[in-house]
Amino acid sequence: MNFQHLYERARIAHMGSYFNPSEHARICIDFHSDKLEQLFNLVDQSYPPGPGADEEKVKLKAGYEKHLTAWLNALGRCMSSAITGGGNFPAKAQEKAHEKERKREKELREWVGAAFTRVRTYKDRLDKAGKTELDTAREQLAKRKAAQERMKLANRIVRGKGGDTDKINALAELGINAALAKELLTPDELGERGYAAFQIKNNAANIKRLEQRVQELENKEAAATADKAAGAFTEYTFQDGVVVFNTLEDRVQVLFEGRPDDDVRSALKSNGYKWSPNAGAWQRKLTEAAKYNVQQLFKPI
């Protein structure tokens, strides 16, 4: 896929600003077609083969074309007095037109940059997606507890006896770099040094919240294991696939035998489902409302 079908639009867009609009249009279309090809190559390198990669390419091309077309349309409203001649040249109107063209060109560049970043970081996001909500909550809790202990120890060092050099060295053993150590050793407006009381208090509140969340998710996991052992209703088949009530992942998952058509994918998206390449399923958070919703979309057989 490329943007050769936009060549005529690009040629017309360059007519008011360039002496050779055909050549500039060709360069423009070739450049952006090459960028699109680079994005597709990155998708092939980063995504597993299947509907996830194909859908990502479709989304990339649609988004790229939308921004490229918007810029070309704005460029087409721009004129140069060197091309049109100076007589009765609408300077004020053209100033606004050029300002809009620069805005659209900036939006295009930013979109392309963000698209490359999203595709390059796909593997990291995939690793994150592969973790259960319980895994993530446990990791966050462990980090918060470690931070709480580190802040308390840092305050003992900062507010204890000894010179700043010794304190910086002691803080370094806690993993606190020199810049932050110096900041902690600098008195605040109240003359206090170290981590402020509100920072430690806020972190403690987050620890309590995460402990409650971990307990809640552990209870769900235990219930899911018991349900499975008891042969409880955890999935059902429909005409084109299977619906799974995945309590371990806390997700309703819809798995199709093949690639669902555009209308089905649109219905899934409008009802809050997102494609998960890692799970190979369309899914949303497992709630009673989600259970009801999925059975309205895909009738059990």
Q: Are strands 281-285 and 235-238 parallel, antiparallel or unpaired?
A: unpaired
Window from 57-66, 82-91, 150-159 with minimum mean pLDDT: 82-91
The pTM assigned to this predicted structure is 0.45
Between CA 110 and CA 146 the distance in angstroms is: 38
Indicate the domain borders of the chain: 4-127, 133-229, 235-297
Tell me 113's DSSP state. Answer: H
Give the pLDDT of residue 47. 74
User: Both tokens of residue 100?
Assistant: 């809009």
Percent of the chain topping pLDDT 90: 54
129 has pLDDT over 60: no
Confidence label for 230 from pLDDT (cuts 50, 70 and 90): low
Give the pLDDT of residue 127. 60
Between CA 211 and CA 142 the distance in angstroms is: 10
Among 253, 215, 218, 211, smallest CA distance to 236 is for 253
Tell me the residue type at 283: Q
Window from 104-118, 146-160, 230-244, 272-286 with minimum mean pLDDT: 230-244
Mean pLDDT within 146-167: 93
Give the pLDDT of residue 222. 83
Between CA 167 and CA 159 the distance in angstroms is: 9
User: Both tokens of residue 28?
Assistant: 């423009």
Among 263, 138, 172, smallest CA distance to 164 is for 172
Rg of the chain in Å (alpha carbons): 29
Between CA 143 and CA 157 the distance in angstroms is: 21
Give the pLDDT of residue 272. 93
172 has pLDDT over 70: yes
Mean pLDDT within 229-257: 81
Confidence label for 19 from pLDDT (cuts 50, 70 and 90): confident
Q: What does the mean pLDDT of the chain come to?
A: 87
pLDDT in tens, 72-128: 999 998 888 666 555 676 778 888 999 999 999 999 999 999 999 888 887 666 666
Tell me the residue type at 117: T
225 has pLDDT over 80: no
Give the pLDDT of residue 130. 60
240 has pLDDT over 70: yes
Between CA 196 and CA 33 the distance in angstroms is: 54
Residue 60's Cα: distance from chain center in Å?
Answer: 14
Between CA 68 and CA 112 the distance in angstroms is: 10
Give the pLDDT of residue 266. 92
Higher pLDDT, 85 or 180: 180
Give the pLDDT of residue 190. 85
264 has pLDDT over 70: yes
245 has pLDDT over 70: yes
Give the pLDDT of residue 51. 63
